[in-house]
Structure 1
Amino acid sequence: MAIQFVSVRCPDCGAELSIENGREQAFCSYCGAKVLVHNDNEHIYRNIDEARIKEAENERILRLRELELEEKENSRSRKSLFIAYGVALGFVLIGALICIAEPLAGMWGIIIGGYIGLFTFIKSDEKKKKQKKYVSPNEAVITDSMIGCEEKNYNSVVMLFRGAGFTNVTAVPLNDLNILSQRKNGQVEAVTINGNGDFDEGDVYPREANILITYHSR
């Protein structure tokens, strides 16, 4: 009678092993670890552990990629800020020199330089607030196109949120239109996330967050 073998995986090194059928335990020929062959619970726990390890590794890779992209974006932002502040400083210095001969013209140069500097500072501060956050596989992020969806067609807004990864998106008709307001049929009235309509670009929510879209209808 031919000897039958079963294939198992070593819980320590991951090597594929062929073990004689009927044996309850064996030792890995690669690392020497003890392998339980017919312990169903051990097999289940091992699979769960492997799944968790794989998920953690995937999240680590995503995080590294996110950090890499963030660093590139920060580098570009620093260069842009350096150029903008340089231009602003140039206007101020030139304006100060012109002030010696033409005070009014020189003052305009200083004002323009100050305006460029102030505008650059405000925009850089807004960008910091909207800076991308790390998003895990169980989360979704609000994009610019999801802000101010009022008057858009509700179907397109539903697809927008579902396309971003949200899984609990509900559209509710208001049945509020009369014969004089038919043009609003299908237009979004409001969008709320977990009952709150105050959200901004870059905000991160769980994928199963309750997205409620109310729209005008006949």
Structure 2
Amino acid sequence: MTMPHQRMDAFCRAGEILVGIVKTMQHMQIWGAELPDRLVSEAEEALRHYPSWLELRDAADDQRSMHTWMVRVTEDTQQQDDAYLKLLEAVERVGAELASDGARLDTVGYLQAWLETEHPALGYRQPVELLFTTGNPEGIVELFEAEHSVAREAKRVFKTEGVAYGWLRSIRSSLGGIPFEMLGSEAGRIKVMDELRRCAAAEAIRMARVAPIADRAAHDAGRTNLKGK
């Protein structure tokens, strides 16, 4: 079964191959042989009208998921360093929450693991691959904070971590997608949080309806026991 993100990755990979063909100086190293001039010329012509990753992601995801603009390269190392420091600060805030539960967090280790994990909102790429090449490293910080906030809310709504992450990783018809894939955009994050609040409200209504029935059943059971005595 081919997933949408896999089809998109294949399309983007085709563009990378065209670029590789045009870079004639690398032919011997990449392909093991010189390529025909006609092939190089046709690849170059195709690239004149080939959409950028930004245009591809924009067309595929009207929520402008984060990976729509991840292909732009920046040489602003100060911006990258600032983003990394902000990530550390965000992890420390997570650690402070965990510490309140009696657990201590290895901040650097936690961040390293997060950076080396594939994230749906990044097109199932690792943040470490993008932090120092993206034109907007601040987006990586926003993603970390969004994932943590949404996961915390999901655990509050669904009571257990397993159910919460199961909900976040599966397709939700009410959202038209997978919640974790939608966290790369502000619009997507708002939709996911709104849906979690809707789920919480629905559960509260359900419990309000169930509680009187349960109370009545318990009362009837108590009366039955008294009669038995």
TM-score band, normalised by shorter chain: under 0.3
Query: Which protein is richer in helix relative to its size?
Result: 2
TM-score computed with the length of structure 1 as normaliser = 0.23
Q: More relative contact order in 1 or in 2 (CA 8 Å, sep 6+)?
A: 2
State the structure with more CA Rg. 1
Query: Which protein is richer in strand relative to its size?
Result: 1
